[in-house]
Every structure is written in C-alpha cells, then in structure tokens.
C-alpha cells in the first residue's frame, strides 16, 4: 500500500516537472531533429532508462503516463521504432558507457533508426539454431547469412545482429550480439510485400558485411544472454503500449526523411490544446 502511494506521488511529481518543462521547451517551429534532441537529452524520450543512459530511471507505468502527457500537451512524442523499444534498453543493460554514449544518445534523439536481425529462415522459434556467422578478421568481423521478418529494415541505420561466432561451442554459447551498420555494400534489405500492398517486413542478406570488435554488445559469445534481454524488453515494452507508452510519434533516422520537417507537422492532431495554454 505504501509503495503504491509512493509511486503515485512520484508519478505526480514527475508529471508536474514534465509539464513545466514542456511549457518552457516545446516549440512547434523547431525541426523534428532539434525537438527530439531537447526531449531525448532531458530524459523524457526513454524515461525508463537509467540516468547514465539518457533516461530518468522511472517505472514503466510512469513512463506510459509521461508519453500520454506529451501527447496531451500537443507536443511531438518520442521517436518511434525498435531503437527506443529494444536497442536502447539492451545497450543500457549490457553495453559500455562509451557504447551508451554512441548508440543510445542517437536513439533517444531520433538520429538513428534500428532494426532487429534475429530471425532466420531456419531459426524462428528455435532462435539459438541460427546459422548466420561472423568470422574474426583483425579487429573486425565478417558476417555472412540471411535474416528474415526484419521489421522496418528499409529505414534502419543500424541493426541488432546476433550471429554465430563459435561454431563448435554448444549452440547457446557460440553467439555474439553486434550493433551492425546497415549502410554498407554487404547488407541488402529486400521487402516482403504483404497482401495489403504494404511491406513492413524484409529479408536481410548479409554478404561479407563488416562489423568492428567495438560494436560487440556484452561479451563475445555471450550474445544469447544479451538477446534474451532484448526479447524481455520487447515483451514488457509492447505489453505496455510500445516502449514509452503513448510516445512513438514518427519514424527516426537518416532514411525516413522526418528529421528536417517542422515538429508541428508531425505532432498529434485533433488533441486538446496545451493544458493551461
């Protein structure tokens, strides 16, 4: 009972702080990129993340209220997509501070979009049976294999890749988790056209694609544990409405073309005017 009251009080305090911050900072004439930079660096884009990872360390229930409050205020919400939902919390859990400052910063500010390169044609439910392999070459890895059902791969700048790095080890112990650059000749994303005409999913072909040692998230050959973190965040994030609750306003990253648009064009339509404004 006491915990519930404490959480409610903390939630009210955080929402009051957010409201005052929005009054001071929301400007519909800012570009989406400039607005997301303010929102993300203030810890409002991914508030469940710890404070060393551009968050505020709040409970998911409060994060949902934060997303709803941003929408109700009439401001543009946090970047949508798998970067905020999956990659950011996984890197906050397993990455170094340098990786957090490289990858998570670009996620919460919407600069980079991510996709999830887990499933393969022969490795869906049996994910640990994956055959995409990464072979060491100096301080880089060469990646060969095929992924499938890559949601939003066509707008991704980076991918959460799991690949086999120790073929002779038991299957759960020979996998490494990488942050791979999607903008390279060895990565080909082919859309899977649905009956609706839309193509949200893709096949992703990796042919001598390269990824540096520095892009390993967690330890080499410990990718199964890291992937399970991602899947845990997927379950809890989707279960609460998609990461930051009512957020997820527009597609982030360099390909979608939203960053230079004015924020006013993408903010929620048809909502009540700003509270108190």
Ligand X SMILES: Cc1cc2nc3c(=O)[nH]c(=O)nc-3n(C[C@H](O)[C@H](O)[C@H](O)COP(=O)(O)OP(=O)(O)OC[C@H]3O[C@@H](n4cnc5c(N)ncnc54)[C@H](O)[C@@H]3O)c2cc1C
Site residues (CB under 6 A) for ligand X? Answer: 115-116, 118-119, 124-125, 149-151
> Are the CB atoms for 141 and 165 separated by under 8 Å?
yes
- Helix axes of 60-73 and 2-25: crossing angle, nearest 10 degrees: 30
Tell me whether residue 115 or residue 226 sits nearer to ligand X (CB atom): 115
CA nearest to 41, candidates 32, 53, 30:
53
Nearest to 234 by CA among 106, 86, 131, 87: 86
Closer CB to ligand X, 36 or 118, in the complex: 118
Output 44 or 149, the one with its CB closest to ligand X.
149
Identity of the residue, 115 or 206, whose beta carbon is nearer to ligand X in the bound complex: 115
User: Is 188 among the residues known to form the active site?
Assistant: no
- CB 174 → ligand X: shortest distance, Å? 18
Three-state secondary-structure class, residue 41: helix
Output the smallest distance, CB 24 to ligand X, in A: 37
Q: Give the residue at shortest CB distance from ligand X.
A: 124
The active-site residue, picked from 37, 69, 120, 234, is 234
- Output the smallest distance, CB 3 to ligand X, in A: 35
* 85, 46 Cβ separation under 8 angstroms: no
DSSP state, 268?
P
Instruction: Please spell the DSSP secondary structure of 86-119, one letter per residue.
Output: IIHHHHHHHS-HHHIIIIIHHHHTTS--EEEE--
The residues that are catalytic are 234
């Amino acid at each position: 009972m006491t915990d519930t009251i404490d959480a409610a009080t903390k939630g009210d305090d955080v929402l009051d702080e957010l409201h005052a911050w929005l009054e001071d900072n929301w400007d519909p004439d800012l570009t989406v990129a400039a607005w997301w930079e303010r929102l993300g660096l203030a810890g409002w884009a991914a508030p469940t993340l710890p404070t060393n990872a551009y968050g505020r360390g709040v409970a998911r229930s409060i994060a949902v209220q934060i997303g709803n409050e941003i929408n109700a205020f009439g401001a543009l919400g946090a970047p949508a997509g798998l970067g905020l939902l999956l990659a950011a919390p996984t890197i906050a859990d397993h990455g170094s501070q340098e990786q957090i400052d490289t990858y998570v910063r670009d996620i919460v500010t919407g600069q980079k979009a991510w996709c999830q390169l887990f499933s393969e044609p022969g490795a869906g439910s049996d994910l640990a049976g994956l055959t995409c392999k990464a072979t060491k070459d100096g301080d880089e890895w060469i990646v060969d294999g095929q992924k499938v059902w890559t949601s939003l791969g066509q707008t991704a700048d980076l991918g959460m890749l799991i690949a086999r790095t120790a073929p002779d080890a038991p299957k759960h112990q020979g996998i490494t988790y990488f942050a791979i650059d999607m903008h390279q000749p060895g990565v080909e994303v082919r859309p899977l056209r649905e009956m609706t005409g839309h193509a949200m999913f893709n096949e992703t072909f990796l042919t001598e694609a390269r990824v540096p040692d520095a892009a390993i998230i967690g330890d080499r050959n410990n990718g199964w544990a890291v992937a399970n973190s991602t899947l845990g965040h997927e379950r809890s994030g989707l279960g609460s409405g998609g990461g930051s609750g009512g957020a997820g306003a527009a597609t982030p990253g360099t390909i979608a073309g939203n960053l230079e648009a004015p924020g006013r064009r993408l903010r929620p339509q048809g909502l009540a005017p700003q509270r108190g404004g």
